[in-house]
Structure 1
Amino acid sequence: MPVPYGGGELNAQSSAEPVVIDTVDYHTAGEPFRIVSRGLPVIAGDTVAERRAIALGAGGTATAPRPGPLDDIRRLLTHEPRGHGGMYGGFVVPPDDNEAHLGVLFWHKDGYSTACGHGTIALGAWAVESGLVAAPADGPARVYIDVPSGRVTAIVHRRAGRTTSVTFRNVPTGIAARKIPVATSRGLVRVDLAHSGACYASVSATSLGLAVTPERLPEITAIGREIRAALADEPATRHPDDPRLSGVYGVILHEELPATLAGPNQRNVTVFADGQIDRSPCGSGTSARLALLADSGLLGPDDELRHESIIGTVFTGKVVAAHPAGVITEVTGTARRTGEHRFILDADDTLGTGFLL
């Protein structure tokens, strides 16, 4: 099955013909992932990282892209009435070379991210279930995906012709700083930073007087945005090799749960972009937590982290190898298809690409 990489402009405002965008939607542990399978304009660039930079536009930023046909589609799919403020997804694009099966530009309501573990898990399931990548009825299939932060792997586990789970092998995760003091409205806290395809700040929810529960979500969102803003000029948030990966993407608030026989057990919630909440345990964020736990001696070489989300869904993760840039991690979860959609922007629709409340 060929991957449709584009064709056509988003020009409903100047044509009587409606814009039509086809998607396949998944959820990974509760977090949505909307895969655009048809209707994209041609996206310039020789690599996925270049295409992301072009998508941001001259002078644009990760959370404030410049307007254009591609960004119109992002807004169309994340804004109401076709989406919502928690929507997440990806544009399927060509890989950097023929060693990978596909590339992807990750997006959310505020812009474009450099990494997405839950999205990689969903893309692995989709690639196998759509027939893009051949897979056995029983056993694993490997899907190689180029993302803005590098090449990642989705190992799709199969049994009796069905996908049972997907393991996301991330780019190297490196620790940038430990116990950075950050003054907040809830007092001084100590924050750890790790680069795992994106930069994540980890902080104990307990140290902030918070529990990772839906009832505390307004407070969690507010403090997550506050910590992210406070770290805006922190040198350790700069990626050592690629400035395009710099800056805090997500703030992880975590709390301890009783350990399992396999290893540590934590509940977390990640506040990313401009106050968006990850419903899953956060795939790339789990990589960051794995590296930090291993560095602290709390995760042994044979241990497995049970990582629970704010809605009770679970990823498991482990450190599988050392790397000059840090460690290699694997995170396992499930992704299930929720629908196939044909979204239409009528030329006479005065709401255009929609709105956010």
Structure 2
Amino acid sequence: MRTEYLLDTIDTHTAGEPTRILTGGVDWQSRGQTVKEQMERFEATHDDVRRMLMNEPRGHADMFGAVPVEPSAPDADLGVFYITPYGYGDMCGHANIGLVTAFIETGRLSADDTIRLETPVDVIDVSPEVIDGRVERVGMENVESFVFDQVTVDVADLGPVTVEIVYSGIFFVMIDASQLEPALARENVDRLSELALRIRDTVTDAVDIVNPLTGEPARVIDTQFYERGDPERSLVVYPDGSVDRSPCGTGTCAKATLFAEWGELDAGESFVNHSLLGTEFEGRVVERSERDGLEVTTPAVAGSAHIVAKTTHTLDPTDPLVGFRV
């Protein structure tokens, strides 16, 4: 068999959302670099690996991935950045839950009470609950988060739509789904995806975002429709229009941050967030504080993941299709 790569992966799903974890087959890491710098280097030198693992014929439009790396932070146990069919990511809650679950259950990571995970954004605490070798649940304390703004934008063919712009490792546009048709339901996902991209693009054109904690320009990454009530529900749409099957780990943190800003969640209080599949994450407010005059929330999310496959991926050097999207 002729092959340019022998890429080993572990596939998991977290509340329905896939994570393909690269565990071997490519040597590229540079010691001493931050995870953010390693992600940028991977993009420059091994983007074909991302395209190969995420896109067809080995992946699909809704695939998500994690690349574990050596951390640079002295107090971190593991580093990770995130890959998708359309690029790279700075933070992903469901992928962190899947990664920690897979690495503990396959003996790659000790089942410590707290695991320090270096992401492209910052070092975060992850807390697994392990019973008889099985990771039953993983909690993740996210970075300091905040509500950037609430704005009403005039969306073509929709009219005025009120959104909240929330940061929780990445920037979200948050949309109360009661403002729109169709209903937040699985049979309406294609239409909701199309609306999400239109609203996101309108917000991007209307609002200049500068992260007040870093002073750096930023942009909205994901769009979240949320539905109030019992149960709380969410649908997160990614930049290319694909949708999160889970309630979205980072999105649940953004939702907790929004609820805290509204005075609906205090430190130590939690809520259950549901996906359109009926799967669940627990969102929680760890603490509220003020930083440089800005009210910030430290949110957390918890959920469960399962290993579904261990695979070795090959690439015939004569194959013209490394990875493609349609």
- Structure 2 SS opposite 1:289: helix
Match among 99, 113, 117 for residue 75 of structure 2? 99
Q: In the aligned structure 1, how far is the partner of 2:169 from the partner of 2:243?
A: 18
TM-score, normalized by length of structure 2? 0.92
- Given the alignment of the two structures, is residue 24 of structure 1 paired with residue 10 of structure 2, yes or no? yes
Q: In the aligned structure 2, how far is the partner of 1:120 from the partner of 1:336?
A: 12
Check the 8 A contact 1:100/1:144 in 2, yes or no. yes
Residues 102-154 of structure 1 show CA distances to partners (whole Å, capped at 9, x for unaligned) of 1112011100011100011112212322223322xxxx622211111111222
1:112 corresponds in structure 2 to 88
Check the 8 A contact 1:202/1:253 in 2, yes or no. yes
1:231 corresponds in structure 2 to 203
Q: In the aligned structure 2, how far is the partner of 1:200 from the partner of 1:243?
A: 18
- Given the alignment of the two structures, is residue 147 of structure 1 paired with residue 138 of structure 2, yes or no? no
2:38 corresponds in structure 1 to 51
Check the 8 A contact 1:23/1:37 in 2, yes or no. yes
- Structure 1 SS opposite 2:23: strand
Q: Measure how far apart 1:345 and its partner are.
A: 0.4
Q: Measure how far apart 1:167 and its partner are.
A: 0.5
Check the 8 A contact 1:232/1:247 in 2, yes or no. yes
Check the 8 A contact 2:246/2:275 in 1, yes or no. yes
Match among 106, 124, 138 for residue 100 of structure 2? 124
2:193 corresponds in structure 1 to 221
Q: Measure how far apart 1:283 and its partner are.
A: 0.7
Q: Measure how far apart 1:30 and its partner are.
A: 0.4
Residues 55-96 of structure 1 show CA distances to partners (whole Å, capped at 9, x for unaligned) of 444xxxxxxxxxx4x110110011111000000011111112
- Given the alignment of the two structures, is residue 338 of structure 1 paired with residue 315 of structure 2, yes or no? no
Match among 280, 288, 291 for residue 314 of structure 1? 280
Which amino acid is 1:126 matched to?
A
1:253 corresponds in structure 2 to 225
Match among 129, 139, 149 for residue 167 of structure 1? 139
- Structure 1 SS opposite 2:114: strand
Check the 8 A contact 2:153/2:203 in 1, yes or no. no
Q: Measure how far apart 1:302 and its partner are.
A: 4.4
With a CA cutoff of 8 Å and minimum separation of 6, indicate the structure with the bigger relative contact order: 2
TM-score, normalized by length of structure 1? 0.84
Check the 8 A contact 2:50/2:85 in 1, yes or no. yes
Q: In the aligned structure 1, how far is the partner of 2:122 from the partner of 2:197?
A: 27
- Structure 2 SS opposite 1:217: helix
- Structure 2 SS opposite 1:232: helix
Residues 284 and 157 (structure 1), Cα distance of their counterparts in 2 relative to 1, 3 Å cut: same
Q: Measure how far apart 1:183 and its partner are.
A: 2.3
1:4 corresponds in structure 2 to none
Runs of 4+ in 1 over 6 A off after TM superposition: none
The gaps in structure 2 that reach 5 residues or longer are: none
1:262 corresponds in structure 2 to none
Q: In the aligned structure 2, how far is the partner of 1:175 from the partner of 1:39?
A: 41
Worse overlay, 325-334 or 242-251 = 242-251
Worse overlay, 275-284 or 299-308 = 299-308
- Structure 2 SS opposite 1:276: coil
Aligned length: 321
- Structure 1 SS opposite 2:28: coil
Check the 8 A contact 1:290/1:318 in 2, yes or no. yes
1:193 corresponds in structure 2 to 165
Q: In the aligned structure 1, how far is the partner of 2:215 from the partner of 2:23?
A: 30
